[in-house]
Amino acid sequence: MTDIDAESRARAKVLVVGMDGLRHDRLTRSPATSPVLHRLMATGAHGTSMLPYGRAGDGPSAGPAYTDSGPGWSSVLTGVWPDRHGVTGNDFLGADYARYPDFLSRAATSRPGLRTAAVVSWPELVHRGTLGPAIGRRAVHDGESDGYGPADRLVAHTAARWLTGDDPDVVFVYFGATDEAGHATGPFSTAYDRALLAQDAHLGRLLEAIDARRAHERWTVLVTTDHGHLDTGGHGGDTRAEREVFVILAEPGMSGGTRLGTPRLIDIAPTVLDRLGIPVDPAWGLQGRALPSPTPPTSEWS
């Protein structure tokens, strides 16, 4: 566990934002379409890694790549690879969320009274149990039926309202428009740029809500994606464009522009628990590790 004293743990809060199908090279090469994300990277830390081919990162012999959203977000939320959480496709067959629940459910179970919340535009994350019923507040705005652009706007509105009017301790927010645009016209299209710019603005709205909160709170912000896209659009294979993922980490006291090395999707869950001061029980079988935190903690964003 990182060296955060008891007082800081009591004030610790976490926001995790997922942006589906966001290619890292499009993010880094398009500052005009993602100014908020670029500012977050410049003031915080970020890095990339490659999704393993199949089982727990044991090399090319592990089988086909699981570069679909079901296994990707399951890995983000549970802290384990598909060999444990069981999800290898968007059918969610074989899911074992009873043994490997999402990090919000673990937090709520480990510390009763902790305020947990999740809002998403991909309904499957709630309907399939990836985000479990132990979470205090769950909201779905249906991108499948209403389109991900409009649904993402409602997701941002809901999350901003919670952050402004309520007092959540850990929040997960999912945006899906970049993936929808990637499938429709590819990641180099104008539609993809528009989707990224909209999601970037949504993130900015959430960060403004955090900045307006009480000064004694210590917020950790994590942003990640589940997979990439082929140049022509689509995913599910094992190319670098599909397998490369990123993690952005921002919190008080960080040196700007820090490299995280090779942060993995399975590192998100243990990082959240670490920042909340919840010890990871070895019996949980988590495969990820908590990402490093700056010390000592401070009360201002760097």
pLDDT the model gives residue 293 = 81
Domain extent, residue 91, equals 6-284
- Whether 63 and 269 have beta carbons less than 8 Å apart is answered as no
Residue 5 has pLDDT above 60, yes or no: no
pTM reported for the whole predicted model: 0.92
Is the model more confident about 44 or about 64? Answer: 44
For 67-97, how does the pLDDT look when each residue is reduced to its tens digit (9 = 90+)?
Answer: 999 999 999 999 999 999 999 999 999 999 9
Assigned domain for 290 exists:
no
The average confidence (pLDDT) of the chain is 90
Lowest-confidence pick of 45-59, 140-154, 214-228: 45-59
Question: How many folded domains does the chain comprise?
Answer: 1
CATH of the domain at 79: 3.40.720.10
- Residues 6 or more apart whose CB falls under 8 angstroms from that of 65 comprise 51, 52, 53, 54, 236, 237, 238, 242, 243
Rounded average pLDDT over 191-203: 97
Cα angle at 130 between 145 and 174, to 5 degrees?
55
Assigned domain for 239 exists:
yes
Give the residue from 85, 22, 63, 111 showing the smallest Cα distance to 288. Answer: 85
For 147-178, how does the pLDDT look when each residue is reduced to its tens digit (9 = 90+)?
Answer: 999 999 999 999 999 999 999 999 999 999 99
- Residues 6 or more apart whose CB falls under 8 angstroms from that of 206 comprise 15, 17, 156, 159, 160, 163, 173
Assigned domain for 116 exists:
yes
Assigned domain for 224 exists:
yes
Q: How many CB atoms lie within 10 A of CB 31?
A: 13
Assigned domain for 289 exists:
no
Instruction: Identify the band that residue 58 occupies on the pLDDT scale cut at 50, 70 and 90.
Output: very low
Q: Measure the CA–CA gap between 181 and 256, rounded to whole angstroms.
A: 31
Rounded average pLDDT over 94-110: 97
Percent of the chain with pLDDT over 90: 81
